[in-house]
Each structure stands twice: as structure tokens, then as C-alpha cells.
Amino acid sequence: MGKIEGIKIQNYGALKDIVLGKTRTNQNAKALGNLVAVIGPSGNGKSTLADIVYPQGYLKLKKRAVGKYSEIGNAKCEWADKIGKCLHLHENSSPSYQYFIGELEKRIIA
């Protein structure tokens, strides 16, 4: 089975110039892991990225939710509840993520 090691996106919806992981033009980068979480505010391109990886994924989700925005949000929350059990937080080697977790742990312990 194939695996996406990286992706480069230019001028597609809200995504202007994005490189994630190892690509043909960025061979020295680390390949994407088995699970990639994309987190950010509304309108930053999360659904656009999902549609690139899984064509029309957002539209299929919207259809499943019978068109109500709150139902789409509920479906995303259900998915987030399930995926959280699969995350291995301390195995994410991204420097920015490790910094974030370190700061979060400091505040929880304090």
C-alpha cells in the first residue's frame, strides 16, 4: 500500500504556498508520519487540504450532515473524539510541537 510522504500545494483555495513533509524538491525533509493532525482557525485551509487528500471529502461530510452547519461540526467532533485515542503525543518529533507540549506540561504542573 502506498503512503504519502509529503505534499506541496500552491495557489489552491486558501493555501498559497504549503510544503508538508518530504517532496521531490525537498528530499532532505522528514517524511510525514502515519497520522498527521491539521489544526487551525476557521478559513485557513484545513478543509481544502482534506479535499486535496480525499477528493470532495468536505462535501461528503456536509451531505452526511444533511446540510446543517451544526451537524457538520458535530460530525467533526465525533471524529476528533475517535482519533484522539490513536495519537501518540510524545512521539511527534516536530520542534514546534515539542515546544508546545513542553510549555503545556509546565503550565499543568505549575
Residue 11 lies in a domain: no
Domain assignment of residue 91, given as a range = 56-109
pTM of the complete model: 0.48
Q: State how many domains the chain has.
A: 1
Residue 80 lies in a domain: yes
Residue 35 lies in a domain: no
Residue 74 lies in a domain: yes
DSSP state, 30? Answer: P
Asked if the model's pLDDT at residue 106 lies above 80, the reply is yes
Residue 65 lies in a domain: yes
Residue 67 lies in a domain: yes
Residue 64 lies in a domain: yes
Number of alpha carbons in the 13 Å side-chain half-sphere of residue 25: 6
Contact by Cβ (8 Å): 5, 21: yes
Please give the Cα distance from 34 to 63 (Å, whole number). Answer: 27
Q: What is the pLDDT of residues 9-68, one digit of tens each?
A: 888 888 888 888 898 888 899 988 877 778 877 778 888 887 887 777 777 766 766 656
